[in-house]
Amino acid sequence: VKAALDYSLTHNHDTLTLVHKGNIMKFTEGKFKEWGYDLAKREYNSNEYEGGPWQVINNNGKQLIIKDVIADAFLQQILLRPSEYDVIATLNLNGDYISDVLAAIVGGIGIAPGANINYNSGHAIFEATHGTAPKYAGKNVVNPSSVILSGAMMLEYIGWKEAADLITDGIEGAIKCKTVTYDFHRLMDGATKVSCSGFGEAIIANM
C-alpha cells in the first residue's frame, strides 16, 4: 500500500483503490483495508473524504482519493466502469485474478507488460505477464508486445522516457494500421496477420 501511495502521489494520479474481500475474510483482507487507511492517515496526513472511511491527500494542488471496494464487485465494475479506477493495491490472490481481467480489457496477456518494483531499494524486475507457452516455441507466431512493453516500462523507470515513448508509439502505430499477430487478428476486422518477427518490423516502421 505504501508503494502504491508513493507511486500515486509521484505520478499525480486521481485515485488509489484498496481491493479486498474483507466482508468475508475479516481478519486478513479486512485488516488489509483498515491498515491501508491507517497508513494513509499516519504517514501521509490524509483526511476523511465525505465522512469516511475513504481518505483524501492533498498533493500539489490536486487530490488523491483513497477508497476501497470488495473484490468481486471490483471485477464487475472494472468491466462496466473502468474510468472510475486508477491505481490499485490488493493482495496476491486477488491480484492474480485482477491482472488477467485487466489484461483482457486491453487485448489479452499478449500485450500486458509486468514489473516487480521495490520502491524502497529501487531494485526492479520487468517481465511479460504471460508464461512460457512451450507449444509456440520456435514457431515465430506469438505476440511479442508484453515483453517489449515491459522493456519500455524499464526504460521509463530508469529515466529513458523518450526511448520508452518511441517503443510505445511503434506498437500503437502497428495496431492502428491493423498489422498484428494471430491473437489480435482473430479479434479485428480487416487486419493483416503477421509473424512475431513481422510484428517487430511493423513496430520499427511505426516509430
What per-residue confidence (pLDDT) applies to 170? 98
Share of the chain above pLDDT 70, in %: 100
pTM of the model as a whole? 0.81
Length of the chain measured in residues: 207
Q: How many helices (H) and strands (E) does the chain have?
A: 8, 9
What per-residue confidence (pLDDT) applies to 192? 97
Map grid coordinates 530508469 to a residue. Answer: 158
- What average pLDDT does the segment 116-142 reach? 91
Please report which confidence band the pLDDT of residue 61 belongs to, taking 50, 70 and 90 as the band edges. Answer: confident
Q: Calculate ∠ Cα 170-172-173, nearest 5°.
A: 65
DSSP annotation of 83:
G
User: Is residue 59 within 8 Å of residue 85, measured between CB atoms?
Assistant: no
